[in-house]
Chain A
């Protein structure tokens, strides 16, 4: 309960901070439009040369793109700013300020910042998803919708865990600023159904970097491709990865001696 209260408090402070910079909303809107536009151009290029890619039609891939942009927006709003701050704190020796607070340190480093204007990306993803779904032939039942929501939630947890595991690397490798490019690059693989990738890459973006679980699985739910086994595997993987992340965080902390000490 206390955990939620702390997270909520940080969220409110973060939002109030960001609301001071209202022009950023329009900047973000413009950036989202460019992002969506580039994505659409790539899709129309691909489908001007083919009618289906690995069994996915254009509308279905549009929904997938929507999910990818939506989840990307969630990452940019809630996860990435915190991870960047954590890396910066390790580099500059200011992490001690978070560690010495009475609340759980992993919670604190995960909720300290929120870039609320990035929520525009979530909305633009949602619009794409809706437009894509209207072109999908099979109708979406309530079960599909529930499975989608659930899979997306798990996807969020998986991406958070992945980001935190990588960021904890900062305890050993101090210069981590390029991690952002690494993640952004790999996250782009989510724009295409995981089935198009050759085996080694498919397994990498499924288990090593859980982009496939985070993006393809929810999109599968909406396009009536999801099998219950996949969803169960996704949940199991989520639980295991979360447990591992928790352990790895403590392991990393034990190795951290502070930059100023």
Chain B
């Protein structure tokens, strides 16, 4: 009796990588589905933030004859409800996770795996998104019933939106991972993360639609990656962006993903030379 070894999946690098992502994402879905209560805790806490903004701005809109800077209460509702989906999508393997990974000595084990470490994080969180979005649907229905969003997207806007939320995921993944590299130099990265988060808060459309910000803030935001992770994906569905602006946005997301990846690669190469493993 002869024993035949299974054929190696070496038909192509790309194909193996696709296989890897598919498998990793399935594993992630199964793993995360076990903790539904925990997911809802997280989601309810997360939803509180946009609901607060929404309530405050719709109160002001009502006080001033129905609109603030031309944005009505219904449009605010649409903005902040879509916000919740975009936020769910752009939660990534962030800088604090890197701190945990290094502090708890897990990086040493992760380094033994054959692929670039970024692939594991990207694939695992990408799989998680399917669970999160499924659990998000009832929340979105509830919020819509209460706040009556004014939302009439076209087919093109829906298609661009679906691409843009993944774009937001990749842009944010790259920049968060780059900031995460700081943990190789200091155990007190928290201050820098906070600074990053505060900049994101103000310059991305997370706190308020960028339209409500002073002109110079909007100009500044155009030159930074933040708005491609919040404002643009939301506006692509909610706002009246021209076809050109919609496609330009997708291009900007690709560009920032590449910039973020290059930054990460440089930081990672410098960081890994310093790493001597905790617990080794």
Determine if B177 is an interface residue (Cβ-Cβ < 8 Å).
no
Cβ contact within 8 Å between B191 and A178: no
Q: Is the interface of A mostly helix, strand, loop or mixed?
A: helix
Which residues of A, 188-222, contact B by the 8 Å Cβ criterion?
A: 188-189, 191-192, 196-198, 200-201
Determine if B37 is an interface residue (Cβ-Cβ < 8 Å).
yes
Determine if A38 is an interface residue (Cβ-Cβ < 8 Å).
yes
Cβ contact within 8 Å between A31 and B190: yes
**Additional pairs, 15, CB under 8 Å, beyond known A42-B208, A50-B64, A181-B45:** A31-B190, A31-B191, A34-B194, A45-B213, A49-B60, A53-B63, A176-B41, A177-B38, A179-B41, A186-B44, A188-B52, A192-B52, A192-B56, A196-B56, A201-B51
Which of A22-30, A71-79, A105-113, A233-241 contacts the other chain? A22-30
- A38 in contact with B56 given A27-B190, A176-B38, A188-B48 (CB within 8 Å): no
Cβ contact within 8 Å between B64 and A23: no
Cβ contact within 8 Å between A175 and B49: no
Q: How far is the CA of A184 from the CA of B208 in the complex (A)?
A: 19
B63 surroundings in chain A (CB, below 8 A): 50, 53
Closest 4 CB pairs of A and B: A185-B45, A185-B48, A182-B45, A178-B42
- A34 in contact with B195 given A49-B68, A176-B38 (CB within 8 Å): yes
* Residues 186-222 of chain B, each 1 if its beta carbon lies under 8 Å from chain A, else 0: 0010110011001001100001100011000000000
Determine if A54 is an interface residue (Cβ-Cβ < 8 Å).
yes
Cβ contact within 8 Å between A198 and B188: no
Tell me the count of chain A residues lying within 8 A, CB to CB, of chain B.
39
Cβ contact within 8 Å between B42 and A192: no
- A30 in contact with B191 given A38-B198, A182-B45 (CB within 8 Å): yes
Cβ contact within 8 Å between B44 and A31: no
Q: How far is the CA of A35 from the CA of B68 in the complex (A)?
A: 26
Closest to A180 in B: B45
Determine if A37 is an interface residue (Cβ-Cβ < 8 Å).
yes
Q: How far is the CA of A176 from the CA of B40 in the complex (A)?
A: 11
B64 surroundings in chain A (CB, below 8 A): 49-50
Question: B59 contacts which of A54, A176, A186 (Cβ < 8 Å)?
Answer: A54
Cβ contact within 8 Å between B191 and A181: no
Cβ contact within 8 Å between B191 and A198: no
Closest to A54 in B: B59
Q: How far is the CA of A173 from the CA of B45 in the complex (A)?
A: 17
Cβ contact within 8 Å between B212 and A45: yes
- A185 in contact with B68 given A27-B190, A38-B198, A201-B55 (CB within 8 Å): no
Closest to B190 in A: A27
Closest CB in chain A relative to B248 CB, distance in Å: 27
- A37 in contact with B35 given A23-B188, A182-B45, A196-B56 (CB within 8 Å): no
Q: How far is the CA of A201 from the CA of B45 in the complex (A)?
A: 14
> Of residues B35, B39, B48, which shows the largest number of chain A Cβ atoms within 10 Å of its Cβ?
B48
Q: How far is the CA of A46 from the CA of B35 in the complex (A)?
A: 38
Which residues of B, 171-195, contact A by the 8 Å Cβ criterion?
A: 188, 190-191, 194-195
Closest CB in chain B relative to A217 CB, distance in Å: 19
Cβ contact within 8 Å between B42 and A46: no
Q: How far is the CA of A179 from the CA of B39 in the complex (A)?
A: 10
Cβ contact within 8 Å between A175 and B207: no
Closest CB in chain A relative to B180 CB, distance in Å: 17
